[in-house]
Structure 1
């Protein structure tokens, strides 16, 4: 049985990693309690009473541990991943896996030197059942050749729950690196593109002039040899929605389209994971709440078999590269203090 531990629990996505790997038959054997939001530690200790806390150096030095899960402050994830891989562990990290070009280069060099897996859990695809179903429909040819994706990920700010680092791009890499990396991953995956170009990108601070470095809006336009992609991310979801965000994705094909309402259907259907398929056969609504999440089992299989079925390293690197490039090239609009990118 594969054994895993968590090192870095600064984001709630660590629970996706833990639940997913447990479902895949792995054993959760420990976690480092260092964290910036205390509520994450409280929930972890409550939900997993029998799992011991341990010093992170001891966890990394334990030869019986196969996998390290990382959801630390984004700036620290690459460094922890490199330490883990050098210690003989495969890594599952939260997005963004890296926040600088230098970190990406170091991660690549470490993977090449150690032969270990550096995988990023893009929860907007890997932990969303409607996104899994959409992938199957695309592979089955339900909408023909995919020519464009349009992703919109609106988030609730929830100010009272945010640690100080949340507002400083030095710590999270900027809104495109942090959030739009999800949409870049989805563009490459659903269009079958191995690489792409950043055509344009924008970041903005519209609602938080008191935190001038923070970015509460961004958009990105991508293009590959076969498809185009647009993504918009923001922190403007109103409290009245009833959930933390209204994530949507439209996948346009030559013979139809798919639309996902990932977390809520504002027209009234209960629950989440709503999928709408439109093609020559008609318009179909699919409740995807029973769809099986596949990434975690595939990752566990890759660790055991030394394969790359969950995600190739090339895909991981390209999502990181495009995210970093789009962030660096972004034109800033809105409140102009702390301006970055092009003038």
Structure 2
């Protein structure tokens, strides 16, 4: 498959570029960056060679089967639609887009043109999540009744891309970060989300950008009634980055016990009713690049039910955008009297 890239304004896209370089079924044939500052920053990049500064021109000049998109969040929906109109499959960093209207249009174009959509929802490829899934699906802790997750990130103001803090370019912290939990929790448990009970975002640390809501919390439930509480705020200490054991920590409470891990952990904590002490179970093998292989399988007409595919990605994006919308419209709460 011939793959072209558009947009390098978020570092995640570099991981996709690296994975694509290493994949024997892929050939990178072009790379476009329309932002002059980002192009300049990439001049000495060890891997990425920018070939175009205009996406329309690249689509016209370059023969490719698929386009990988990593521009700022608010631009992604537009670029996806443009690529689909040109007959290309698309793989995108998360989030897919920043509005339900855009998502509806993308879904229509995918269906009408029989194209496929991939997404870098790579948390399900982590060994911790693979291990949690195996244990929960085996019935180790029984029926799941409560889930807590913390996906807090460091804000890194001054280091994080400036567009994050420009109105209209980010699209919301829940849509940005919680999409990973929205994807991986049903994948781990086998239970879909059933209801949004509450969601709130607010400005906490980025006080010079009051429109930017860098704090976010949510309350959901799964189809069996299991409660889900999550926090995806940009409140992690900047100096510790992504190293704390709190980073993407997930706790699952079942009828027979508790499981917990995080993507910085080297084990899964298992605490079963009837045992006197919790134990640490080793991690299974991870599945690096699994999201990319899932996309290629989908394009080849061989999607697998338990792996990412076009409709699943659209469904996950819709849930995240719906939670973000609740935070925008109902997140102020009711004052106590």
**Normalising to structure 1: TM-score of the pair?**
0.82
Question: Does the 8 A contact of 1:37 with 1:162 survive in 2?
Answer: no
Structure 1: any 5+ residue segments left out of the alignment? Answer: 266-272, 333-338
Compute the displacement of 1:121 (Å).
1.6
1:276 maps onto 2:273 in alignment? no
Compute the displacement of 1:331 (Å).
6.8
1:64-88 Cα deviation digits (max 9, x unpaired): 4222111111111111111112222
Alignment correspondent of 1:148: 146
Query: What pairs with 1:178-327 in structure 2 (closer than 5 Å)?
Result: 178-226=176-224, 227-241=226-240, 243=242, 246-263=247-264, 265=265, 274-279=267-272, 283-287=279-283, 290-293=285-288, 294-309=290-305, 310-327=307-324
Compute the displacement of 1:111 (Å).
1.1
Compute the displacement of 1:139 (Å).
3.5
Alignment correspondent of 1:329: 326
Compute the displacement of 1:11 (Å).
0.4
Alpha-carbon separation, structure 1, partners of 2:176 and 2:282:
30
Compute the displacement of 1:162 (Å).
2.9
Question: Does the 8 A contact of 1:95 with 1:178 survive in 2?
Answer: yes
Question: Does the 8 A contact of 1:90 with 1:118 survive in 2?
Answer: yes
Alignment correspondent of 1:335: none
Compute the displacement of 1:29 (Å).
2.4
Compute the displacement of 1:122 (Å).
1.9
1:57-116 Cα deviation digits (max 9, x unpaired): 243236742221111111111111111122222111111112112101101111111111
Compute the displacement of 1:146 (Å).
3.4
1:158 maps onto 2:151 in alignment? no
1:107-145 Cα deviation digits (max 9, x unpaired): 11111111111222224334x332233333333444334
Question: Does the 8 A contact of 1:67 with 1:91 survive in 2?
Answer: yes
**Normalising to structure 2: TM-score of the pair?**
0.83
Alpha-carbon separation, structure 1, partners of 2:80 and 2:269:
38
Aligned positions, number: 324
Alpha-carbon separation, structure 1, partners of 2:141 and 2:22:
31
Question: Does the 8 A contact of 1:148 with 1:191 survive in 2?
Answer: no
Partner SS, residue 212 of structure 1: coil
Alignment correspondent of 2:27: 27
C-alpha RMSD over aligned residues: 3.0
More divergent stretch after superposition (146-155 vs 60-69): 60-69
